[in-house]
């Protein structure tokens, strides 16, 4: 525990000591301290702690200060500088009766001021050190802005790319997402998040938000318990086991009960089974929405359901404030239930270090940065390094890439020089003006050795109705800015540029708002305006390199057939343009792998690799009736999970196992030799999949259980060894028992999820 607040701030403020700091219990013993404080609180003060409020049209900065001083607010979000937050904390500590500090939260999802690649991009790196580093940098920057908590990581498993929030999470796989959840929480919290440079992580959205039916945002989730336990719940649990101090409750219902009123989810599973002892937060306005789900007749019942189910804090509504006093007085809500919720909030503040020093992150006014947006506050080197690890090379015919820094390069497409789109969704305090676009990155990389010409070529989308919808989404930057000239004029200009060039680099895809909250799509195609541009560019006969920017898997059939090379860059953040140029020119050899399957068409969705087995599987090379397939289209994904090319080739040896039987307490080593066959150094991700050949219930075709990112010099070979124990073979059976069932297992090791390079063993 750090010095007491009184000591930390010195004599200058000791006259305005908060009541709790002068109390008989020192903050060295969390439980005693909180009980003591709770005993001194009025009902209204307790309820005030349960409110998480943001400044908005009805809640001005001065109004919120008065509310805080009256003890009616527990935390705020969306104020993001020390100078904004300081008066709010002063109102809490100096003007409220008990002086209980508030906390400051924000959506620091993939960076704070320095923006890193979106979740799908970070996940594509399969590089846990890089991912943890991104979270560390974000925590340091957020903390320097006076923030105590982030609403992250987003660990919702997503298997339906129609869902716009696919961009925010880390893809489709329970193991990969769980690993990332763990490393991200460590990055944010760095042990206990009780000091400057750390923020508390509130993992979200609990639970199963990524499984909304049809990929339509906010829709219902209906799922078997077995699937929940085996596939969708592990990442939340991993984040909690890594110490996440908060949990944000999902907006959706789960099997008929909204998460925000779901006692099973929030009490039985989260608290009793998993032992979570942190704070739970509703999502934005979610308690109010219980009436619209149709499980509460009115706001009063909504508040009653939510607090009884275990939602500690209500975000952005007045229901707890207005209804809890009456509900407690009538006995509909037990005072002990309310006290438990207050205890969790105070406990979180204690863990954030706010009782030791309420200004631990806000600091002193004289230390405020002169310019909060100053470029010197950014971590550009980290952003560039992490972004280039997140790029996935999908195609590279005739060694089109890497490009030479010579001749003429046409950089075209509506995303080639769009600063705001580099940021991606949930870009926190990131500023579009500070991002490096592809055009800027390429221009800087060639350094005058090549001529770079640019034409926009198309607008992102031509449908005004959709543009209006997307522009409505954001409040500070206009999402889609279109060139008013006609589509043909734009295309002609780009074709003219292409004709002058030796190679065309076309940046196409989605605007960032197209893959966002409330941005579900029915199509996974690149919008028509851009497809028309690509077709015209193709006709020039010039090598066509596609740089994709998008927040979900797209169906890229035409692009796969027609592009000379294709690089998936997601939304790559502040340094995206430099990072992409590093890969295009071979200054960095791409090493990213897809964390999510790319379908051929939206009709194939869901297309995840770990699907349960069926009685009549489609067999490659043996087409026929009465097997599980769509007869209009080639079976299988366009690009599988785990896939990604490099500028070198890697060869993987046969799988060697240390034995053919394993005891329940024993372990087996599985090993392969991986060799770099080319003449440039490179990194690849060696992936271990396990398949349970016969079990008491239908099991997935295969499941990722481990992976290793290895770096190999030209010609170098490395032995990559994995330990397999019974824990890795366990799953939740029909009775939801976590078991490893005896019998045959197959182990597959390769460089993507289609590998058939396998060996078998028996679990006794």
Cα distance between residue 232 and residue 295, in whole Å = 24
Cα distance between residue 355 and residue 21, in whole Å = 8
Q: Which lies closer to ligand BGC via its Cβ, residue 156 or residue 582?
A: 156
Give min distance, CB of 231 to ligand BGC, in A: 21
Q: Which lies closer to ligand BGC via its Cβ, residue 284 or residue 380?
A: 284
Cα distance between residue 147 and residue 108, in whole Å = 10
Distance set, CA 420 to CA 115, 411, 436, 476, 576 (Å): 11, 18, 10, 11, 11
Number of amino acids touching ligand BGC (CB under 6 A): 6
Give min distance, CB of 232 to ligand BGC, in A: 17
* 148: contact with ligand BGC by CB under 6 A: no
Looking at residue 680, the DSSP 8-state letter turns out to be S
Start-to-end CA distance of the chain, whole Å, equals: 49
Cα distance between residue 364 and residue 27, in whole Å = 22
Q: Which lies closer to ligand BGC via its Cβ, residue 252 or residue 304?
A: 252
Q: Which of residues 64-93 bind ligand BGC (CB under 6 A)?
A: none
- Write the interaction track for ligand BGC spanning residues 149-188; mark x where CB under 6 A is met and - where it is not: --x-------------------------------------
What region does 531 belong to: left with phi over 0, alpha with psi -120 to 50, or beta? alpha
Give min distance, CB of 118 to ligand BGC, in A: 14
Q: Which lies closer to ligand BGC via its Cβ, residue 249 or residue 508?
A: 249
Among 204, 552, 593, 699, the residue binding ligand BGC under the rule CB under 6 A is 204
Helix boundaries (H) for 574-706: 576-584
Specify which residues 674 forms β-bridges with: 652, 718
The pair of structure tokens assigned to 480 is: 């889609």
Q: Which lies closer to ligand BGC via its Cβ, residue 53 or residue 432?
A: 53
Q: Which residue has the tokens 């009465």?
A: 626
Give min distance, CB of 286 to ligand BGC, in A: 8
Q: Which lies closer to ligand BGC via its Cβ, residue 172 or residue 283?
A: 283
Give min distance, CB of 87 to ligand BGC, in A: 22
Q: Which lies closer to ligand BGC via its Cβ, residue 151 or residue 639?
A: 151
Distance set, CA 396 to CA 209, 356, 593, 639 (Å): 36, 56, 15, 14
Specify which residues 732 forms β-bridges with: 738
Pick the closest to residue 566 from 716, 394, 353 (CA basis): 394
The SS3 of residue 645 is strand
- Write the interaction track for ligand BGC spanning residues 614-653; mark x where CB under 6 A is met and - where it is not: ----------------------------------------
Which 3-state string (H, E, C) describes 394-429?
EEEHHHCCCCCCCCEEEEECCCCCCHHHHHCCCCCC
**Chain centroid to CA 496:** 40
Give min distance, CB of 351 to ligand BGC, in A: 20
Cα distance between residue 104 and residue 148, in whole Å = 5
Give min distance, CB of 212 to ligand BGC, in A: 12
- Write the interaction track for ligand BGC spanning residues 101-120; mark x where CB under 6 A is met and - where it is not: ------x-------------
Among 216, 227, 267, 284, the residue binding ligand BGC under the rule CB under 6 A is 284
CB nearest ligand BGC: which residue?
A: 151
The residue annotated as part of the active site, out of 127, 145, 217, 283, is 283
Give min distance, CB of 204 to ligand BGC, in A: 6
The pair of structure tokens assigned to 355 is: 């009782």
Cα distance between residue 602 and residue 167, in whole Å = 17
- Write the interaction track for ligand BGC spanning residues 439-478; mark x where CB under 6 A is met and - where it is not: ----------------------------------------
Q: Which lies closer to ligand BGC via its Cβ, residue 52 or residue 747?
A: 52
Q: Which lies closer to ligand BGC via its Cβ, residue 202 or residue 563?
A: 202
Residues 6 or more apart in contact with residue 735 via CB below 8 angstroms:
none
283 labelled catalytic:
yes
Specify which residues 650 forms β-bridges with: 676
Among 67, 148, 231, 283, the residue binding ligand BGC under the rule CB under 6 A is 283
Q: Which lies closer to ligand BGC via its Cβ, residue 516 or residue 699?
A: 516
Give min distance, CB of 217 to ligand BGC, in A: 9
Specify which residues 508 forms β-bridges with: 548
* CA-angle at 609, arms to 559 and 208, nearest 5°: 105
Cα distance between residue 428 and residue 109, in whole Å = 7
The pair of structure tokens assigned to 254 is: 């789960």
Rounded to the nearest 10 degrees, the angle between the axes of helix 299-309 and helix 319-330 is 80
- Write the interaction track for ligand BGC spanning residues 510-549; mark x where CB under 6 A is met and - where it is not: -------x--------------------------------
The SS3 of residue 724 is strand
Q: What is the binding site for ligand BGC (CB under 6 A)?
A: 107, 151, 204, 283-284, 517
Active site residues per annotation: 283
């Amino acid at each position: 525990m750090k010095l007491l607040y009184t000591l930390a701030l010195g004599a200058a403020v000791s006259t305005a000591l908060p009541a709790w700091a002068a109390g008989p219990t020192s903050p060295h013993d969390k439980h005693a301290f909180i009980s003591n404080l709770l005993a001194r609180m009025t009902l209204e003060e307790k309820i005030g702690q349960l409110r998480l409020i943001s400044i908005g049209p009805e809640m001005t900065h001065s109004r919120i200060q008065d509310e805080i001083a009256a003890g009616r607010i527990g935390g705020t979000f969306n104020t993001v500088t020390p100078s904004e937050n300081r008066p709010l904390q002063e109102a809490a500590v100096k003007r409220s009766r008990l002086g209980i500090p508030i906390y400051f939260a924000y959506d620091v999802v993939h960076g704070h001021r320095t923006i890193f690649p979106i979740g799908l991009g970070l996940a594509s790196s399969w590089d846990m050190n890089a991912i943890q580093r991104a979270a560390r940098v974000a925590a340091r920057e957020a903390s320097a802005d006076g923030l105590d908590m982030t609403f992250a990581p987003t660990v919702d498993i997503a298997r339906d790319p129609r869902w716009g929030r696919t961009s925010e999470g880390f893809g489709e796989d329970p193991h990969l997402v769980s690993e990332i959840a763990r490393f991200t929480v460590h990055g944010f919290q760095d042990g206990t998040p009780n000091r400057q440079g750390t923020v508390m992580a509130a993992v979200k959205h609990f639970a199963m938000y990524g499984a909304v039916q049809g990929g339509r945002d906010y829709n219902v989730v209906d799922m078997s318990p077995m699937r929940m336990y085996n596939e969708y719940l592990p990442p939340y649990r991993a984040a909690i086991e890594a110490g996440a101090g908060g949990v944000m409750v999902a907006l959706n219902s789960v099997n008929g009960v909204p998460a925000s009123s779901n006692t099973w989810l929030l009490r039985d599973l989260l608290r009793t089974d998993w032992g979570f002892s942190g704070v739970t937060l509703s999502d934005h306005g979610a308690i109010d929405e219980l009436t619209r789900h149709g499980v509460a007749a009115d706001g009063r019942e909504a508040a009653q359901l939510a607090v009884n189910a275990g939602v500690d804090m209500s975000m952005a509504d007045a229901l707890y404030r207005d209804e809890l006093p009456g509900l407690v007085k009538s006995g509909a809500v037990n005072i002990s239930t309310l006290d438990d919720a207050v205890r969790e909030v105070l406990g979180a503040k204690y863990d954030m270090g706010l009782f030791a020093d309420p200004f631990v992150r806000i600091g002193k006014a004289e230390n405020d940065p002169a310019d909060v947006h100053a470029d010197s506050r950014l971590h550009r080197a980290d952003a560039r390094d992490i972004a280039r690890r997140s790029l996935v090379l999908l195609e590279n015919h005739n060694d089109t890439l890497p490009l030479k820094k010579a001749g003429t390069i046409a950089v075209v497409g509506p995303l080639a020089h769009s600063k705001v789109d580099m940021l991606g969704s949930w870009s926190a305090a990131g500023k579009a003006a500070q991002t490096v676009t592809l055009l800027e990155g390429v221009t800087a990389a060639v350094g005058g050795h090549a001529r770079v010409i640019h034409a926009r070529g198309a607008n992102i989308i031509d449908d005004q109705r959709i543009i209006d919808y997307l522009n409505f989404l954001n409040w500070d930057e206009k999402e889609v800015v279109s060139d008013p000239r006609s589509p043909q004029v734009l295309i002609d200009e780009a074709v003219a540029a292409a004709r002058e060039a030796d190679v065309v680099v076309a940046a196409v895809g989605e605007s960032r708002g197209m893959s966002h909250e409330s941005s579900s799509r029915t199509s996974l195609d690149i919008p028509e305006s851009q497809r028309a541009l690509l077709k015209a560019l193709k006709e020039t006969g010039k090598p066509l390199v596609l740089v994709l920017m998008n927040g979900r898997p797209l169906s890229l059939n035409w692009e796969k057939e027609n592009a000379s090379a294709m690089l998936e860059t997601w939304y790559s953040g502040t340094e995206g343009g430099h990072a992409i140029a590093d890969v295009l020119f071979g200054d960095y050899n791409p090493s990213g792998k897809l964390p999510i399957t790319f379908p051929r068409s939206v009709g194939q969705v869901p297309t995840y690799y770990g699907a349960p087995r069926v009685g009549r599987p489609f067999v490659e090379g043996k087409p026929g009736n009465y097997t599980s397939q769509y007869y209009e289209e080639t079976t299988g994904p366009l690009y599988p999970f785990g896939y990604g090319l490099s500028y070198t080739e890697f060869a993987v040896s046969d799988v060697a196992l240390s034995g053919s039987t394993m005891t329940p307490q024993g372990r087996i080593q599985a090993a392969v030799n991986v060799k770099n066959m080319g003449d440039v150094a490179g990194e690849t991700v060696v992936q271990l999949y396990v398949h349970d050949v016969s079990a008491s219930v239908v099991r997935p075709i295969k499941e990722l259980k481990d992976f290793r990112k290895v770096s190999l010099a030209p010609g170098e070979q490395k032995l990559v060894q994995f330990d397999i124990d019974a824990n890795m073979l366990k799953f939740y059976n029909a009775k939801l028992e976590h078991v490893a069932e005896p019998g045959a297992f197959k182990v597959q090791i390769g460089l993507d999820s289609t590998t058939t390079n396998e060996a078998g063993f028996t679990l006794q």
